[in-house]
Copies of this chain bind each other. A is one copy, B any other.
Amino acid sequence: MVLYIYSNVIGAFVFNTDLRIIDKLLFEDKDIVNNALRLENNEWLDEEKKLVKKHGHKIIYLGKKQTELKGIELSKDDKFELVNERISQIPNFHQMIRKAGIIITKNKIKNSVKQDTLVIQAINNIDELDRVANTLVKRLREWYELYLPEFSKKLRDNEKFVELVLKKKKTELLKEINISSKKSMGANLDETDLRPITELAKRILSLYDLRKSQSDYLELIIKKSYPNMYAITGSQIGAKLISLAGSFEKLAKFPASTIQLLGAEEALFRHLKTGAKSPKYGILHEHPLVTKAKPSEKGKIARALGDKISIAVKVDFFKGKFIGEELKKELEKKFIKKKK
C-alpha cells in the first residue's frame, strides 16, 4: 500500500494514492481547530467539503500518537512521502492552511500566558525598580549634598534617606547629626531651588512603594500557584528560579544539580572553559540557610536545597499534595541542628 503523509500546523493527514485523506491526526483539540477554522468564514469547511466531494475521503479523528493511527496498518514497506506538490493542486489549500495556522498560533500565544509568565514579569520588574531607584537616589544624594552634605554622608540607608529628606527640615536634620548650621558646608537654597529636589525624592519614595506592592503581588501568585516551592524558597528566590529557567515547566524538569547552580551560569562556563573553581550555588546563595551558614558548609546546604526544591517544583507542576512544610523541616533539621 502506498501512503502519502502531509503535515501542516493543524495536523498530519494521510492520503492514499487517490489523494483521499484516509486518516488525520490533529495537533490541537478538535474544538480549537474547528473554532479556528470556523472563524475564517467557513472557508476551510467549504474547502474540506469540496475535498470530500471530489475525493470522497473518510475523516477519522484520532488520538495524539502517530502510532495510534487507526484503520491503517503501517509497516516498514509503506512509503511515506510528502505530497506538497499534489496537495497544492487543491485551490487555495495552502492559503487556507496558513490562515488557520495563524489563528491557531494566536490562540496558543493567548493561552500561553500562565502564572509563571506573570511571575517572570513581576520579578524582572522588581529588579528593574531596584536599579532605577538606586540610580535616582544617587542623583538625589548628589543634589541634596549641595544643601546638607553632612547628613547624606552619615545616613547610608537609601530608603530612610529619602524618607527623612521629605519628612524633616534642614534644621531638624542638623540637630539629629549634631552639627550647627554654621559649621555645615551646605549652601542655603531657597524654596524654588529646593522644590525640584523634594519632588525627585517623592518620586523615588513612590517607586519604593511600588516595589513593595509588587513584591506582595509576587508573593500572592507564588504562594497560590507553587505552594511547595514557596515553602522552601519564599517568593523572591522562587521567582528568580522560574525567571532563570525560563518557565515553571522547564524548572520542574531540571535535575536538582541544575537548580542548585541556576544563576551561576557564567561561573560554570568559566569552570568548564578555563578549569577555574566550579561554582557551588547560583541564586541560592541568597537563601537564608546559605547566607547564615559557615563558608565551608554553604556548598553542602546549596546541594541539599537544590534537591528539595527539585522535589517541590515537580510536585507543584503535577499539582500534587502539599509537602513543602515537611521538606522545609527536613532541611532545617539537618542544617540548623548541626550548628548548635
| A contacts, CB < 8 Å to B | 39, 106, 109-113, 117-118, 121-122, 124-125, 128-129, 131-132, 135-136, 139, 142-143, 146-147, 149, 182-187, 189, 192-193, 195-196, 199-200, 203, 206-207, 210, 213-214, 217, 220-221
Contacts and interface: CB of A to CB of B under 8 A. Distances in A.
Contact of A118 (B110, B139, B146, B210): B146
Contacts of A117: 146
A220 B185 CA distance: 26
A214 B187 contact: no
Given A113-B189, A118-B193, A210-B199, A106 B183 contact: yes
Contacts of A217: 192, 195-196
Nearest to A122: B196
B196 A110 contact: no
Contacts of A186: 110
Contact of A187 (B113, B131, B132, B207): B113
Contacts of A124: 139
Given A39-B182, A112-B187, 19 more contacts: A39-B183, A106-B183, A109-B149, A110-B184, A110-B187, A113-B146, A113-B187, A113-B189, A117-B146, A124-B139, A125-B139, A125-B196, A128-B139, A131-B135, A132-B135, A132-B136, A192-B217, A199-B210, A200-B210
Contacts of A196: 122, 125, 213-214, 217
